[in-house]
Each structure stands twice: as C-alpha cells, then as structure tokens.
Structure 1
C-alpha cells in the first residue's frame, strides 16, 4: 500500500464525479459508445415521430431509461472506488499500528 495508490484512486474518484455531474447536466461526453448509440437511436426515433405528427412518449421514456442506467453505472463505479480507497486507508492504518506496537520500549 502506498500513497500513490490512494492518490490514483482520488484522481479516479474526481473524474467519475465529474462524469456523473456532466451526465446530470445532460452532457454526452461521459457516455460509452454503446450508450451514445442508444441515445442517438432514441433521439432519431423521437424526431421521426415528430415528423409523422405522433407522440414522442416512447422515445422520451427510452432516453430516460438510458439516462438512469448511465447514472446507475457511474454511481456504482464511484461507490466501488470509495470502497477501495477505504480498504487501502484501513490497511495502511493497520500496518502503521502494527509497526508502532512492535517497538521494544
């Protein structure tokens, strides 16, 4: 366990948090290629419905479900990173305590 690993995790946490905030603002840059494709298809389907004079309810619900799955993915990733950081910090504290208690005076 080293401080560089914790710093790396902190950087990843910051990146993932920025991605989550961007998705909540409606930006597409944090999306994977598959997610972008799904959103584009739903958007095109909605545009086609508008052109035909129909309701866009189906396309909107598809886009909402894609958005919620993206948010869930990023939240799970963020939770995993926080858990890993906590594990590393606990391990470092345990090593430090063992090192202190092993002194002979």
Structure 2
C-alpha cells in the first residue's frame, strides 16, 4: 500500500498533545472558531493559530468561511486514511508473526517455552 505524500505531516501533527486535544474537541463539539478552540488552553491566539496551521497542512482540519467567522472543522477522511495505513501495517506485521510462529513450530531445533541453550 503506497503511503500518502503527507502521511509524515499527519503523524507529526498527531504527535503533539495540544493538537490532539484540538482534534478531540472538534470531533466531539463540531465546527469551532479559533477563539472557541483557544478558550481552554493557556496560550496565545497566535500559538493556537500555529497549531491550527500544522493541522491544516496535514489535512486534518479545514477552515471555512461563515460571514466574519472562519470556523475550523475536523477532516474525518484524513483520519480514516491514517487509520487505514495503521490497519494495513498491523495486518502486514501480524502476517509476518504468523509465518514466524509456523516456522518455529515446524523447526526441530526450537521448542516453545524452553530454554534452548546447551
């Protein structure tokens, strides 16, 4: 499965607890303005805006226009893409572990649960 060109940006954006909290609020409360997003954080609006820019570049949020307001909304499809990447990677590793387990079970020199040192 080829990775998306901005998957690294997505993982980088998800690696910050403030950005995770922002995404969590958008998921539970819906569209919000920058002021609404910033209200529970002990940081400036400029700092929150920087976090929002990172999330937007990663495709995790989108900003709209509603008169004078610029509400932010969660881009659930981008999160779904990331989840699909995790699912694919997990399935690949589970397949590798299953093959290794079968190999070890068939190997005459290896027995489960025993120390094989001479």
TM-score (norm 1): 0.44
Please identify which structure carries the higher helix content.
1
- Could you say which structure has the greater relative contact order, defined with CA pairs below 8 angstroms and 6 or more residues apart? 1
Please identify which structure carries the higher strand content.
2
TM-score (norm 2): 0.40
